[in-house]
Amino acid sequence: MADILSDAWLIARKDLTIEFRTRSAFLSAVVFALLGLVIFYYSWDPTAIAVADLAPGVLWVIFTFSGLLGLHRSFGVEAADHAIDGLLASPVSRQSIFLGKAIANLVFVAAVQMIAIPALVVFYNLPLGNIAAPLIAIALLAAIGLVAVGTLFSAMAVNTRLAELLLPMLALPFFVPIVIGATQATAKLLSGRPVTEAGAWIKLLLAFDLVFVAACTIAYPFTIED
């Protein structure tokens, strides 16, 4: 297990170094997230819809779609000049490759969230106060589920001609339960309800994370052979 995790971290560190140097997907995802916030803001009628009703949906729609930009890049860097063959021919386990990719994607999504959540708070004048910690926990739990599913489908879609179209088509149906759980839990917090009321949704997110991470790690080796 220690070998699997150390190999996964090696692969994640390589992916993050590449993304840090190129910043192509990260900048695209941040710009997309901020543009989304602005567009929703100007289409919002505050006299008709309370901010606590609107903000959770805005937040999770933005995270879902900006995350897809990073997930598509995940195996894209391996497709260039068949770098994936070098990984697969090495003695690291397939699980390490999947987990390494997932860790890098998680850092990517979390970094986008670190910019988008404060921007949402400022734009929509949200009373963050004592809900910051549970909101971060919900964001992290949801990100784990989205990344597990998205990484698997990124691996499946990367060698197809319609990869950019196929990835959202495959991944979005599986994102639905995670996004519903995250949106509902966020709504409870933003409407001033006690954290315990969001507990059931948070447990649901946790359950999805466990199932998706385990299932996707097991399924990944079956996606890579011709």
Partner 1 sequence: MSSATSVSPPSVVDVQELTRSFGSRRALAGVSFNLRAGECLAVFGPNGAGKTTLLRVLAGLLSPTSGTATVSGIKLPGGADVRGKVGLISHHTMLYEALSPRENVSFAARLYRSPDIRQRVDDSLRRMSMLERADAPVRSLSRGMQQRVSIARAMVHGPQLVLADEPYSGLDESGARALTELLQDLRSSGTAIIIVTHNLPEGLALASSVAVMARGRFARYDASSNVDATSYSRLYREAISTGG
Quote the CA–CA distance of 34 and 47 in Å, as a whole number: 23
- What is the closest distance, in whole angstroms, from the C-beta atom of residue 77 to partner 1 in the complex? 7
Q: Which is nearer to partner 1, 8 or 131 (CB)?
A: 8
Chosen residue from 46, 86, 127, 173 binding partner 1 by CB under 8 A: 86
- Rounded least distance, CB 14 to partner 1, Å: 6
We find the least distance from the C-beta atom of residue 224 to partner 1, in angstroms, to be 9
Residue identified by tokens 């009321």 is 197
77 binds partner 1 (CB under 8 A): yes
Q: Write the interaction track for partner 1 spanning residues 37-76; mark x where CB under 8 A is met and - where it is not.
A: ----------------------------------------
Residue ranges that bind partner 1, judged by CB under 8 A: 7, 10, 14, 17-18, 21-22, 77, 80-83, 85-93, 225-226
